[in-house]
A and B are shown apart, each in its own frame.
Chain A
């Protein structure tokens, strides 16, 4: 069974631009969670989607948004990029909502903002 697929793998953007990251969950998984990973802050929870609805949200500004499609694929968008948004963005899928089933992570999208 294919794992969680995140595209693109690497991304370089300029301050002020916007970016969209994509996540394809494991087949049959209905929940998708997004995390931001930085050396200073570690893993920070962004949001979790289940059945196309955002179920939980972390403490990030409104520039960070996401959505989930009917096939469970998810995208997250960051508008008006800032230098501090440079990070590894990890997507994780689970069969049902966590913690009732474990998170399965993709390899991440590394975003660099210049």
Chain B
């Protein structure tokens, strides 16, 4: 079974600083990988996804993630944090095979932005 591990349940950065949220996955097949964001009292919103092709994926709101097969990682970055980025971020992977439609989520990383 596939799994995803997010390192750090809470990350705090200053406004304007680099944002780095870490995600490692385990997958026995080429993975479909996703990052979602959840604002308080709302559902999740897709930030970006990796399926095949270019390993650097650009998403909405200035976020990007790089797929590194050798490191089984899919870390999320943003060059300059904004106050509006404060939210919870989830990395996710498709289960694959006959269970491909089952999307497994990590435990989430809460991002705080200091003024």
Contacts and interface: CB of A to CB of B under 8 A. Distances in A.
Interface of A: 4, 31, 33, 35, 42-43, 45, 48, 50, 55-56, 58, 90, 92, 97-99, 102-108
B41 interface: yes
Instruction: Bin chain B's interface residue count.
Output: 20 to 34
B100 A99 contact: yes
Nearest to A57: B102
Contacts of B94: 98-99
A32 B49 CA distance: 19
6 contacts: A4-B43, A42-B106, A45-B103, A97-B100, A99-B32, A102-B49
- List the 9 shortest-distance A-B pairs measured between CB atoms, nearest first: A105-B43, A99-B32, A99-B94, A43-B105, A97-B101, A105-B44, A56-B102, A42-B107, A102-B46
A56 B99 CA distance: 6
Nearest to B46: A102
B35 to A, nearest CB: 11
Main secondary structure of the interface of A (DSSP, over half): strand
A99 B90 contact: no
